[in-house]
Structure 1
């Protein structure tokens, strides 16, 4: 046999597993998407559906934004973002009405791709659980989860009118009990620390509900990170150790790996996966989901989801496909999972 042919065949077999990883194509569930922005405006359902089809996104967790940005009387120009000026944001329940109205315009086939989470309530108000119950009754069978609930959220917290929400307050304890009653997962934004403290300063605010509500499924948005935290602390050095312990201790905790987790945690600047986070995902293969966290604008939806591919490619294929798509679906109420089979 020609010796060059032998080497060529050997090289082919050696490269085959690598090539397979490089050519994986994923189907996605976006586990964290806001249909509207902080002004309760949106690109609309048609553009969202087009972006989903372009990105291979089969399913979407869709929610509103629980606060609205005020255009203050003294500001001559309308702000473009919640941090655009010092005007406050305020709790805005109609955000859920906007989401429900958009979904009700769809036919059954397209509507099954969306999994709406109810978010328009004040987490400091002990009436919140009663409001949620009314919304569940008003739209029977529509809502499939609660959140994203804003608690500690750096500048959003600073701008929100009223008291600072805490994930372990009495009002939210009532909400968590209701979530367990209706088999609804809860997506919770609770920053792990402040801009300045290089330790898990606010961790107790998350850990207390995890311990006290074992029958409630919690999705921790961005694992407690945020863009603003990273502006002041490029990387939270204690995050991996903390997340690892929490996953070991609380089987009702799930981690949302939306965009602020991508870098500098899952990937470095050269898109090389971090071995520690790869190992953690292998150890807890069903406990991670990914999301875009887009807010009312969908032109970058596909790009945001596909950015996770280098991390997914470093995982066993079944684990990668679970994180990309199926883990989120497994978090939904059991009735919804039956309908998707």
Structure 2
């Protein structure tokens, strides 16, 4: 009798825990339809992966550069860092995204929020090019980016001048984004691989000050896996983000994969209380991104990897971070 009672009690506790388990639905705030060779697994594979992972909505963009297969290389590289051949700015990437979306039924097309990325960010003609793309595909584009500026070894490999988030050409684009009520997703590393200080912080902070009507989504919060390989953690990242979120109401943070570890979770996979507190303090300023490039099998793994961190947040905040915050930064007309 005692054993039966204990068994029932344990079952009751188990069922209670299951009933309290959260199931999230997601918006992906950072997804590339093609890779660095402008190739894609295709829209069918993307939709299957989204459905399997409970991703209802997704940002979608191309990749702003194409990796060259140099004639001196006997094997085609698999990634931009696969060899020393250059990458170059590639405007047709936006056409590939537009064509893929236009082939979808309307119900499926409404799940995607395309961002323009096929322009050279050090060319002052880029803003005019973006205006032409907005006219060519009226009502399609909802944001700009991912804009590549400071981006690990890709910066050195890309032909032409080094882009900075605060250069004059991008200033024109930020003005355009404000006029069209479009957010800008920008990749701007906060530092280099070896400097243990926020070496490039001013490059992202100046646009935040000078363009208060433009909504900026900072990709990976200025971090990267390449920086982590050399420095493990940036001790100044949390206080810097805290100060910037306090000061700039137009700053939003994309928590895609290089922020998850070693920042949001410790080496045992436990959410870090100081990061939980930061997201709680600014519950509408953080969003999740997969940052997949052209292949979509890992979509679920990327976004569900945040579940332990989301579970540490108040439930209402967790659902905002998982889904609602990205949708809230899109043009109000949407």
On whether the aligned pair clears a TM of 0.5, the verdict is: yes
State the match for 2:32 in structure 1. 34
Change (3 A) 1:278 1:20: farther
Inter-partner Cα distance in structure 2 for 1:20 and 1:331: 32
1:269 is displaced (CA, Å) by 2.4
Inter-partner Cα distance in structure 2 for 1:43 and 1:268: 33
Inter-partner Cα distance in structure 2 for 1:14 and 1:54: 26
Inter-partner Cα distance in structure 2 for 1:49 and 1:15: 33
State the match for 1:339 in structure 2. none
Inter-partner Cα distance in structure 2 for 1:121 and 1:325: 28
1:285 is displaced (CA, Å) by 0.3
Inter-partner Cα distance in structure 2 for 1:75 and 1:24: 50
Inter-partner Cα distance in structure 2 for 1:168 and 1:5: 68
Inter-partner Cα distance in structure 2 for 1:110 and 1:269: 39
Cα offsets for 1:283-338 (capped at 9, x unmatched): 000000001000000011111111100000000111000000010000100111xx
Inter-partner Cα distance in structure 2 for 1:182 and 1:53: 31
Change (3 A) 1:39 1:15: same
Q: State the secondary structure of the residue aligned to 2:74.
A: coil
1:5 is displaced (CA, Å) by 6.8
Match of 1:304 among 283, 302, 305: 302
Q: State the secondary structure of the residue aligned to 1:196.
A: coil
Determine whether 1:273 maps to 2:271: yes
Pairwise mapping of residues 56-205 of structure 1 onto structure 2 (< 5 A)? 56-205=54-203
1:197 is displaced (CA, Å) by 0.4
Determine whether 1:44 maps to 2:25: no
Change (3 A) 1:20 1:236: farther
Unaligned residue ranges in structure 1 (runs of 5+): 337-341
Inter-partner Cα distance in structure 2 for 1:198 and 1:91: 30
State the match for 1:215 in structure 2. 213
Unaligned residue ranges in structure 2 (runs of 5+): none
State the match for 1:282 in structure 2. 280
1:11 is displaced (CA, Å) by 11
1:77 is displaced (CA, Å) by 1.1
State the match for 1:257 in structure 2. 255
Pairwise mapping of residues 295-334 of structure 1 onto structure 2 (< 5 A)? 295-334=293-332
1:20 is displaced (CA, Å) by 5.2
1:154 is displaced (CA, Å) by 1.2
Inter-partner Cα distance in structure 1 for 2:229 and 2:183: 30
Cα offsets for 1:99-121 (capped at 9, x unmatched): 00000000110000000000000
Inter-partner Cα distance in structure 2 for 1:300 and 1:12: 35
1:227 is displaced (CA, Å) by 1.2
Change (3 A) 1:305 1:14: closer
Q: State the secondary structure of the residue aligned to 2:47.
A: helix
TM-score normalised per structure 1: 0.94
**Structure 1 runs of 4+ off > 4 angstroms?**
8-16, 18-21
Inter-partner Cα distance in structure 2 for 1:20 and 1:169: 52
Cα offsets for 1:194-213 (capped at 9, x unmatched): 00100101000000000000
1:232 is displaced (CA, Å) by 0.6
